[in-house]
Amino acid sequence: MPGVERYEVYDKFFSCKMEENSSISEHILKMSGLHNRLTQLGVNIPDDAVIDRILQSLPPSYKSFVMNFNMQGMEKTIPEVYSMLKSAKVEIKKEHQVLMVNKTTKFKKGKGKKNFKKDGKGVAAPGKQAAGKKPKNGPKPETGCFYCKGSGHWKRNCPKYLADKKAGNTKAGAAE
């Protein structure tokens, strides 16, 4: 029966995949345990092949780590790779959180949804009006126009530019 067990452990080792957002430590322990069991069963896999298999088992969020590792041509031991993966998880988690915030923000802006109370009256978005912030669309009062050197508007809204453009007295991209 050792042949059956060897086949099953070998199969588990080479089909093991880490789920996105799951624990890297648990995945490392699982891969390490399978590798150790294969060694006990007489299957000796070279360390570089084990490292390649570990990197292949990672989810897409580790893509930049894997590319960087392979491009650097690093000669690391299996425990060193495990340590690097634990460190990388912290950075990947930070990047993932920032991406989620950006996606959420864009989604809210794109849909134009407003918050409503049960009685149907609108409610200010959290942190916007309460903090006294102005909307981000449009020029600030101190914004200078590249066309007329006035302030408070952009070239595309400049009355002088629009009049000159209508009369055909402007050159594309040129500022006076």
What residue type is assigned to position 147 of the chain? Y
Q: Would residue 32 count as lying in a domain?
A: yes
CA-only gyration radius of the chain, Å: 29
Residues 8 and 74 in one domain: yes
Q: String of b and e for 93-110 (b: at least 16 CB within 10 Å)?
A: eeeeeeeeeeeeeeeeee
User: What is the Cα–Cα distance from 136 to 139, expressed in whole angstroms?
Assistant: 8
pTM > 0.75: yes or no: no
Residues 103 and 141 in one domain: no
Residues 33 and 103 in one domain: yes
Domain tally for the chain? 2
Reported as a single tens digit per residue, the pLDDT across 127-174 is: 545 455 656 666 677 778 878 888 888 778 888 888 888 888 877 554
Confidence band, pLDDT 50/70/90 cuts, at residue 176: very low
Question: What pLDDT does 131 receive?
Answer: 53
